[in-house]
Structure 1
Amino acid sequence: MSCSHDTVAQARAILAGAQEKIDRLRSMQPYLIDLSLRENPVGARIGQTLADKLAILPRLREFGFRNILLGTLDYAMPDEPEVDDDFMMYLRDHQLDMNGCFAFTDIGIAAADGTFTPSPSQRKLQAYGVPNTLHEIYLSKAGMAGQYDLETLRRSLPASIAWLNANIRGDDGGQPRILINIVDGCDAFAEDPDTACSILSLLAEQAIEGISIEDDRGTYLPFQVGAFVAVARSFLPPPLKLLVHMHAGGGFENASVIEALLNGADGAWGGLPKRAAIIGHASLGELIANLVRVGNPHMQASYRLDQLLQLATRLQVLDEEEPVPDDLPILGNNAYRLPLSFFRQQAGRFMDLPPEAIGGAYRYRICPVVSDAAVIAGRLAEVTGQAAESFPEAVLNRMIRLMRRDLRAGKRIAYDEPAQLLQLFARASQR
């Protein structure tokens, strides 16, 4: 069956559309705010002490982050300081550089008579000398419940922004960078798009850096996130920034961030490791790696990619006091342990991301159903310290045969374990 000229032309147009998206991802310089000092500890078993935070901050700067969130100025129990408070006070008291640093704050409330009361978190931001803020609001009915109604929000937002601009000293003594973070942004668009759009119209008139939209449970599909972002972008023209933050509830998080970028988002915020408030999020480590994957040159120019894999892993281990899950994509231990040579990602091949590109190296994992001679040789080299080339190909092939025979005989053996692998090698070496 032959294809018509029109069908071929249509196919080429579809592929050209995909390539146009790749080209856009390659050329963009995303606006990133790192939250490794806050997002990752929130969902961690252990968290971070003041000493931990003081050690982490220079590592984040060395890696290349220019925008770093120091912590959250707790809204629910502001009279009980957290490590985040101690951290910001320490930076202030020791006159350490906080340019490019942010903290989460919530809005103050403007009464019907025009009287404005800043929130405790705003007061703390001022007292601690943090120059910039992700200033949080809720827009869905459930999110606003018990905090404020829509009318109160409408009059409080401009007043709260005005207070920040009047009372916070920004980077290098200038105006603070204020990003309004709509915590339930995806919920708000899905529940009542008219109200969401009216608030965006209001924000477009304010003296702010931009806005941020969250999918705080990670339940919206990528095309929904893309649509929400496209609508938000239509109300917030550049130079206003539009950022996203995606949790991993449904497993869509990284696809959702890519979809957001393609629909007008300027960037994202998140921690460098995968760990987050629930089960994970679209981490900046993953986003940077995926932009490297498509050939974005700005990642190499902006970040120490040779540190990415090691730094992200170290930070998660610090927060958890447990190893990173083996099967985590990109950052997990098994992400670059080859079970079969065919799966090797190669430098220069379209859409491949070899581990060396983010500071890693290939290792090997024995899976008795598929592992080939090269993988077995690589794993033997890891276990014995001998060169992979020193293992005879005939012996490696006999190891494959023996694994198949053992499994057919009902023997379930973990050959990846060093003792079992060496025993298999000894059996295969016998003539």
Structure 2
Amino acid sequence: MSIDTATGTRIHEILASTQHKIEQLRAVAPYFIDLSLRENPVGARVGQTLADKLAILPKIRDFGFDRILLGTLDYSMPEELEVDDDFMLYLRDHQIDTTGCYAFTDIGLVDEQGHFTPSPSMLKLRDYQVPNTLHEIYLSKDGMAGQYDLATLVRSLPASIAWLQQNIRGDHGGAPRILINVVDGCDALAEDPDIACGVFAMLAQQPIEGLSIEDDRGTYLPFQVGAFVAAIRCVLPPPLKLLVHMHAGGGFENASVLEALLNGADGAWGGLPKRAAIIGHASLGELIANLVRLGNPHMAQRYQLDQLVPLATSLQILDEEQQVPDDLPILGYNAYRLPLSFFRQRADRFMDLVPEAIGGSYRYRICPVVSDPAVIAGRLCEVTGEPAVSFAQDVLQQMVRLMRRELRAGERIVYDQPAELLALYARAGGSVERLAH
């Protein structure tokens, strides 16, 4: 069988375009701000105490993050302090290094007479001596409602940035790094791109580090996010940074971040674990793992990849006081529990990511419809401590047959449970007594 030359050429052009995107993602050295001290506790059942935060900070530094958000200086009830306030005060009072650290603040406002009033969060940023900020605004009609109108926002932004430049002592005594975070950035671009990009063009003339946009409900499709980023890049040229933060509402979050990187974003902010303000977000742990999958060399050079899975999962367990969901991709317990040998990922195969590359290891899960002898032997090894090679092939084959027969007979047995697995092993002719010794 053959295809004509023109069709063959077109096929190769299409496939070559995907390779170009892969090379882009391999080459990127992403600008990350880690939010494991804030993003994850926001949506957690329990959260973090001051002692927890003090223990977490050196761990995420040791992992390799050099830009870390310490917390949010609460906007709605600034007089009612939070653990985030206690944490930043402790770091200040004990002279703990906060180089590269940020806090969320909201903008101050200029009234119609031209008088500027900094927000309580800006005053806290100064008083707590946090050197950098993600400075938040809203830009859609719904987002601005009840806070300010567009005219007030436009006249307040330069004044707010100027106040920060004058009053915040940045890293090593320099200027603060200010990233304007547009909480409803995707909404604003979808609602009125001319107004949104007009504001972004104005911000491009300000003394800031860059801009960040969120999909705060996780409802925009990846190609929309990519288009939003490309549109912003028309008015926000490098070296100004452009970051994204994607929530997991529609299940698009990780694809959306990759689309953003392909369309001109410099990086992302988020926590290392999956847990976030709603049901999850495009976590930095997942993004780092996916860039490792693509062969990005910057990940191994910068981050302690052998700690990725254990650190991310331990942080989520701390915040939730329960285990990470078993079926969570990449970080969940079942992500690398093989039900069938065919699914094993290999280090020598394109696009595969072996668990050892990110600090994990393969385990085994018995699924009666598909599990093969090698998987059954692996699970028996986990349950008994005996080497997988010590289990006879004829017994393993008989276990497969028995699972099929028993399911056909209407028996619903969870063979993955140790007691049921050993009972199946015995019915197939294996010696449970031998295993006991």
State the alpha-carbon separation in 2 of the partners of residues 234 and 354 from structure 1: 39
SS of 2:276's equivalent?
coil
| Residue 423 of structure 2 is aligned to residue 423 of structure 1 | yes
Secondary structure at the counterpart of residue 32 of structure 1: strand
Task: Report the TM-score, using the length of structure 2 for normalisation.
Answer: 0.98
Which amino acid is 1:268 matched to? A
Matched, 1:216 2:216: yes
- Partner AA of 1:156 in structure 2: S
Specify the alignment match of 2:25 in structure 1. 25
Distance (whole Å) between structure 2 residues aligned to residue 265 and residue 2 of structure 1: 41
> How does 1:249-328 map onto structure 2 within 5 Å?
249-328=249-328
1:364 and 2:364 correspond? yes
CA displacement, residues 95-121 of structure 1 (integer Å, 9 cap, x when unaligned) = 000000000000000112221100000
SS for the counterpart of 1:181 is: strand
C-alpha distance in 1 between matches for 2:235 and 2:3 = 44
Tell me the CA shift for residue 430 of structure 1.
Answer: 6.0
Amino acid at match of 1:307: Q
Match of 1:397 in 2: 397
Amino acid at match of 1:138: Y
Matched, 1:68 2:68: yes
- Count residues in correspondence: 431
Within a 5 Å distance, the mapping from 1:85-234 to structure 2 comes to 85-234=85-234
Distance in 2 separating the partners of 1:40 and 1:32: 16
1:310-330 per-position Cα deviation (integer Å, ceiling 9, x unaligned): 000000000000100000000
After superposition, give the CA deviation of every residue in 1:145-198 in whole Å (9 maximum; x if it has no partner): 010000000000000000000000001110000000000000000111111011
2:299 aligned partner, one-letter code: M
In the alignment, the residues of structure 2 paired with residue 425 and residue 145 of structure 1 have an alpha-carbon distance, to the nearest angstrom, of 65
Q: 1:42 and 2:39 equivalent? A: no
SS at match of 2:214: strand
Query: Percent same amino acid among aligned pairs?
Result: 76
CA distance in 2, matches of 1:23, 1:290: 13
| Structure 1 match to 2:434 | none
What are the superposed Cα offsets for residues 21-55 of structure 1, whole Å, 9 maximum, x if unpaired? 00010011000000000000000000000000000
Residue type at the aligned position of 2:70: L
CA drift at 1:2: 3.1
TM-score, length-scaled by structure 1: 0.99
Deviations 1:49-72 (A, max 9, x none): 000000000000000000000000
Q: How far apart in 1 are the matches of 2:347 and 2:278?
A: 34
For residues 360-414 of structure 1, give each alpha carbon's deviation from its aligned partner in whole angstroms, at most 9, with x where no partner exists. Answer: 1000000000000000000000000000000000000000000000000000000
Say which SS state the counterpart of residue 87 (structure 1) adopts: helix
Deviating above 3 A after TM superposition, structure 1's stretches of 4 or more consecutive aligned residues are: none
Of 342-351 and 262-271, deviating more is 342-351
Name the residue aligned to 1:355: 355
1:199 counterpart letter in structure 2: V
Partners in 2 of 1:418 and 1:18 — Cα distance? Answer: 45
Equivalent residue for 2:342?
342
CA distance in structure 2 between the partners assigned to 1:413 and 1:90 by the alignment = 54
Where in structure 2 are there 5+ consecutive unaligned residues? 432-437
Which structure 1 segments of 5+ residues have no match?
none
Aligned amino acid, residue 161 of structure 1: I
Superposition CA RMSD, Å: 0.8
SS at structure 1 position matched to 2:298: helix
- Residue identity in the other structure for 1:331: L
